[in-house]
Structure 1
C-alpha cells in the first residue's frame, strides 16, 4: 500500500462507516421520527465542494425513495445577498467536514430563521454548524489530514443514505447499510496498473454517471483535478450527448461509473455511443465488461450503496494516479483542508 496519508485514510473508510452506524443509530432514528411527523413539502441542502457532491447524492436518494423535491441552496444567498427565503415547513440538510465555513454557517442559520428544520451531517461536532442545528448526525470519520477528503466523503454519503433509509422505514436498505462496512473493509485491492497509466497519461477526460452515480462522477472529477491536475469534467450520461460529446476525438478518455438501478441499460447505450465517436471508456462497475477496460468494485448490496463502494475503489485509483504523475495527493498546490468562504 502507498505511504501517503490519503491512502491510509481511504483504508479507514470501513471503520468510520461502522462507527457512524453504531453511534448514530439512536440520533438517526430520532431525526427520522421527527421528519415523518413534520411531513415536509421539500428538502434543501447546504454544502460546498465534496460535501456538495454528497448533497447531490442525497438529493437523488430523497427524490427516489421519498418522493420529495430536493434542491441545493447557494450559500451566498445568505452570506452575500442576504436574500430572505420562504422555507416554512421545509427541511434543510447541511453537509460539511469542518462545519466552519462562514457562508455555510450563515446559510444554515438563514434557513432556520426562514422556518426550516435544520439537520447537520458534520465531522467536527464542536463546530458552529453542529452546535446550531436542530438535529446533529456526526460523520464520525475521525481526524482527516490529507487535503483530499476521502473517508469523510464516504461517511457523508452513508449518513445521508442512513437518514433516508430510516425516514422511509426501508428495512432492506437499513439491512444493506449494516453490511456495508464489511464490504468497504474487504475492498483493498490496488487499482490495475493499466487503469492508473490511462489516467496518469491523460490531460483531459470526461467522467460520467447517471442518477446516484452522477454525484459519484462529480466527486471523481474533482479529485482528479485536486490530486493530479487533470482537467476532468463530470456529466450525466443523459446530458453528455447534448453538446459535450463534440470535443471527443480518437482515444479521448471517458471514466464511466455504471449505475446499479433502472438507469443502467441506457447508461451503457451512451457509453457505446461515445465509443463510436472515438472515446476510450474505462468503466467502474461491479461486473467486468468484455468491450471496455473495467475497474471492478464490489457490489454494495443495494443500488444506493454500490455507487459508494465504487467511489471508495476510485479513491485508490486517484491516489495511485497522483503518485504516478509525481504529485503529492496529501498537499495539492493552492488548496487548504478547510476553505473559509464568505
Structure 2
C-alpha cells in the first residue's frame, strides 16, 4: 500500500498525457448527446461514480443518477434506456453484477462506457466504449492508485465532453507529489492523535462528498474503525446528535462552494466537543483541532488531491493499531457480487 500510494503522482501525470485517447471516447458520446446519464459501480468505484455524478450535473448540465444494480440482477427490471449514457466503473472489470447491468443497459438502448483498470476484462468487451485508467496492477486490497486514476479519468472524460482542454489537471502529477510530501508531518500528527479513536465521522459537501465516503471506507477496511460518512448537510439533519467528545470528525474542506458550506458544519460539531481534523485547500480557514493543507485547484479537481493524505492516514493508523493494511481481515482484492 505504501508503494502504491507513492506511485500516484507518476500515474496521474501519465494519464493526463493520454487525454487525447479519452477525448476520443468523449467525442463518440457527444455525437449523439444523451438525455441523461447513469453510473454503475461498487465499493471505491462507487465513490468515484458519485464524483462523476457531480461532474456531469455541474459541468455538463445533464441529470445523472447512481444505478442500483440489484434492480437488474435480483428483480429483473428492464427500464427504457434509449438515448441514455451508462458509465460502468470497475477497477477489476470483473464483478458479475456490473457486467449484467452493462449488458442489460446496452440491450435496452443505452450507450455504454466502461471505465476500468483492466482492459482485458469482460466489462470492456460488453461496453460500447472503454476508458483504460492505466494505473498498473494493484496488489494491496485497499484501492489507492486505482481510485485516484479513476477520478482523473472520469474528469478528463467529462471535461472533454464539454469541450475542455484538460488544463485544470495539466500539472496534477506535480501537485500530487507536493501533496504527499507536504502532508506527511500532518498525517503523522493525526495518527498520534487518533490511534486510539473508536468512532470517526467523515463529512464533506459537493465534489468532496465522494472523498468523505472513500475516507470512511479506507479507515474501516484498514484500521477496523467504526466510521460513517455524511454530507455535511445531512450530518446536521440528525446524526449530529450522536457527535460528542468521543468522536473524531474528518472534514474534507477544499476551496470552493463545498468547502465554504463546511465551515458551519465543522463549527457545529466542534461546539459539541468533537475532535476535528480538516483536510483540504480550505483547511486553514476551518474550526479544527488539526489541519492538513492541500494545494488549491479548481474545485472539481480537488478530490484527486485531497484523498492522498486520507490514504496515508488510513495506512499509518492501521500500522499504529497493529494491523496489516495490505491484507485486511476477511477481504480480497476482487469482490464478486450479484
TM class by shorter-chain length?
over 0.9
Residue 77 (1) aligns with residue 71 (2):
yes
* Conservation of the 8 A alpha-carbon contact between 1:300 and 1:308: no
* Conservation of the 8 A alpha-carbon contact between 2:124 and 2:130: yes
How large is the RMSD of aligned CA atoms in angstroms? 1.5
Distance 1:161 1:297 in 2: 22
Where does residue 274 of structure 2 map in the other structure? 279
Where does residue 3 of structure 1 map in the other structure? none
Distance 1:259 1:15 in 2: 23
Q: What TM-score does the superposition give when structure 2 sets the normalisation length?
A: 0.95
The offset of 1:40, in angstroms, is: 0.9
Distance 1:89 1:191 in 2: 50
* Conservation of the 8 A alpha-carbon contact between 2:221 and 2:328: yes
Distance 2:321 2:178 in 1: 27
Q: Give CA-to-partner distance per residue, 1:261-289, whole Å, 9 cap, x none.
A: 22332210111111112222110022435
Q: Which one of 46, 49, 61 corresponds to residue 52 of structure 1? A: 46
Distance 2:337 2:274 in 1: 37
Q: Give CA-to-partner distance per residue, 1:97-140, whole Å, 9 cap, x none.
A: 10011111101111111111111110010001112211111010
* Conservation of the 8 A alpha-carbon contact between 2:266 and 2:287: no
Judged with a 3 Å threshold, the aligned counterparts in structure 2 of structure 1 residues 295 and 316 are, in CA distance, closer, same or farther, namely: farther
Q: What TM-score does the superposition give when structure 1 sets the normalisation length?
A: 0.94
Where does residue 171 of structure 2 map in the other structure? 179
Where does residue 129 of structure 1 map in the other structure? 123
Distance 2:287 2:267 in 1: 9
* Conservation of the 8 A alpha-carbon contact between 1:79 and 1:102: no
Q: Which one of 298, 302, 306 corresponds to residue 302 of structure 2? A: 306
The offset of 1:83, in angstroms, is: 1.2
The runs of 5 or more residues in structure 2 that have no matched partner are none
* Conservation of the 8 A alpha-carbon contact between 2:213 and 2:229: yes
The offset of 1:323, in angstroms, is: 0.5
Judged with a 3 Å threshold, the aligned counterparts in structure 2 of structure 1 residues 26 and 290 are, in CA distance, closer, same or farther, namely: closer
Distance 2:67 2:45 in 1: 13
The runs of 5 or more residues in structure 1 that have no matched partner are 1-5
Match runs of 1:27-176 below 5 Å: 27-171=21-165, 174-176=166-168
